[in-house]
Amino acid sequence: MRVLRFVSHSQSMRQLIEALMASMGSIANVSVVIIIVFMMFAILGVNLFSGKLFYCANVDNPYFISNA
C-alpha cells in the first residue's frame, strides 16, 4: 500500500505508470511477434537436428549397444 501512496503523490511516477499502461498493447504485439519468431526457429532446429544426437559414437566401449 505504501507503493500506491507513493505513486499517487509523485507526479513523475504517475506519468511513468500512465505511459507504461498506455504502451501495454504495443508491448503485447511485440511479444507475440517475438514468440512467433522463436517458435519458427525452434521448429527449424528440431527438423535440422532430428535423429542426429540420439546415438553414442563410442564403439570402443564394451557395453556399447548399437541400434543400427
Q: Does residue 12 surpass a pLDDT of 70?
A: yes
All residues at 6 or more sequence positions from 7 whose CB lies less than 8 Å from its CB, including other chains: 13, 14, 17
pLDDT tens digits for range 14-44: 888 899 999 999 999 999 999 999 999 999 9
All residues at 6 or more sequence positions from 14 whose CB lies less than 8 Å from its CB, including other chains: 7, 8
Cα–Cα distance for residue pair 30/28, rounded to 1 Å: 5
Phi and psi at residue 59, in whole multiples of 5°?
-85, -10
Q: Does residue 49 surpass a pLDDT of 80?
A: yes
